[in-house]
Chain A
Amino acid sequence: MSMTRTDCLKVLAKHRTGELVITAWQSSNAWHEISPSKYNCSSVRTMGECATFALGVALARPDQRVVALEGDGALCMNLGSLLTIATAAPPNFYEFIMHNKVYETTGGQSLPNVDHLDFLLVARGVGLTQVHRYSDLATWDRELPNLLREKGPVFTVVDIEPDETHVCGHNFATKVRGKDIFYARQFREALANTPPKGG
């Protein structure tokens, strides 16, 4: 059974056990509704930099598992970030790519050379070894708990269907975008008030 973004995120919320979750763009709106938490941060507004921001958080807080939810178009803008992640290799870092093969916000235009695009090959090619792809909801639901227990960095592509309600960003913009600073402050405060585990 194929997945929508909402399906995918509901499963992630179901199996969430205290992870810090950094989202960008289209995933932010849905994630705040599905899994509201002071440990969510949706303030990154530069395409392709959600995962690198999350990498910084993961390095700063090795006691916490850090999840980055990024779109495939964003990753296309910063493929080199995989190299940086593989080099730093934090064991508490999990990157999930929402792969619908289009730029949803701007109207559903396809990614460049999308029919030949293989993110897993790229990830393996830069030295990431924990690499996964899920295309069906039942498998995603069954395997996610184990995946979140793997030693990172873990790179996962999740195939989702394009969502026409997101086109042109109206849905997204009205609900989340104006709260970037609020969410950033809430996240930082929550982290500051969470003592490092084991120390």
Chain B
Amino acid sequence: MRTVDIPGHVPEVSDKLPTAAVKQAILDAGIEYLVVLPETPYELLLRDLIKTQDIKLVQVARESQGMSICSGLTVGGKRAALLCSFKGLYNSIDSLLGVARRTEASFLILVSEAGVSPDRAKLDPELGRHSAKLLKALDIPFYEVWDGKDLHLVKVAVAETKGNTQPVAVILRW
């Protein structure tokens, strides 16, 4: 993956979830492959991870592909995670059910989603409302990270993938 510096572009980094802390949580969890699409709040994270030798990035053109690639990596014996936006989760449901579940691949899904706040709800009433309900409806186990103190849940979720037959999700609220 390559990045281009865009003059004047200021990434919308969450002050609740510092980039360095998210990166450390991913590394501490022992993730070998991170399958990604660019996601605005994690622009700095991805720029940082590109330089990291401890983790391999796989860039996909659509999140549903990432769900399948993580399934293949897992079946092949690697520890994989998908980092996607909440909309990425929406477009991945078919792969989640038709690939990950059918191959019993258990890996980490990191879903980036806006927190529920009146300001954001004014901008887009769909923000922050559906991921948890969706995962619950699909019987996919998940944790919610609201701030840096919750980031240990990434490691907890990865531990839960061991011996499991389906992915485990962590919703990163920004």
Contact = CB atoms under 8 A, between A and B. Distances in A.
B102 A59 contact: no
Contacts of B71: 53, 56
Given A87-B59, A180-B102, A187 B75 contact: yes
Interface stretch (B9-17, B60-68, B131-139): B60-68
Contacts of A54: 72
A43 B103 contact: yes
Could you say which interface size class chain A belongs to? 20 to 34
A120 interface: no
B69 A56 contact: yes
A181 B65 contact: no
Contact of B72 (A59, A80, A185): A59
A58 to B, nearest CB: 7
Nearest to B70: A56
Contacts of A75: none
Given A44-B99, A46-B98, A57 B65 contact: no
A88 B103 contact: no
Contacts of B67: 49
Given A52-B68, A60-B73, A60-B76, A81 B99 contact: no
Interface string B65-95: 1011111111111101000000000000011
A56 B102 contact: no
Most buried by B among A53, A58, A60, A185: A53
A49 B76 contact: no
Most buried by A among B64, B67, B97, B102: B102
B174 interface: no
A88 B58 contact: yes
B153 to A, nearest CB: 25
B66 to A, nearest CB: 8
Contacts of B76: 56-57, 59-61, 191
Interface residues of B, number: 30
B104 interface: yes
B33 interface: yes
Nearest to B35: A56
B98 A55 contact: no
Contact of B77 (A61, A78, A181): A61
B68 A46 contact: yes
A192 interface: yes
Nearest to A82: B61
A62 to B, nearest CB: 10
A56 B77 contact: no
Contacts of A147: none
Contact of A181 (B69, B70, B95, B104): B104
A84 B65 contact: yes
29 contacts: A41-B103, A43-B102, A44-B102, A46-B64, A49-B64, A49-B94, A52-B72, A52-B95, A53-B71, A53-B75, A55-B69, A56-B69, A56-B74, A56-B80, A59-B76, A60-B33, A60-B73, A60-B78, A78-B64, A78-B65, A80-B62, A84-B59, A84-B69, A87-B59, A181-B102, A181-B104, A184-B75, A184-B102, A184-B104
Interface of A: 41, 43-46, 49, 52-61, 78, 80-81, 83-84, 87-88, 180-181, 184-185, 187-188, 191-192
Given A60-B77, A191-B77, 18 more contacts: A44-B99, A46-B97, A46-B98, A49-B64, A52-B95, A53-B68, A56-B76, A56-B80, A59-B76, A60-B72, A80-B62, A84-B59, A88-B58, A184-B75, A187-B75, A188-B75, A191-B76, A192-B77
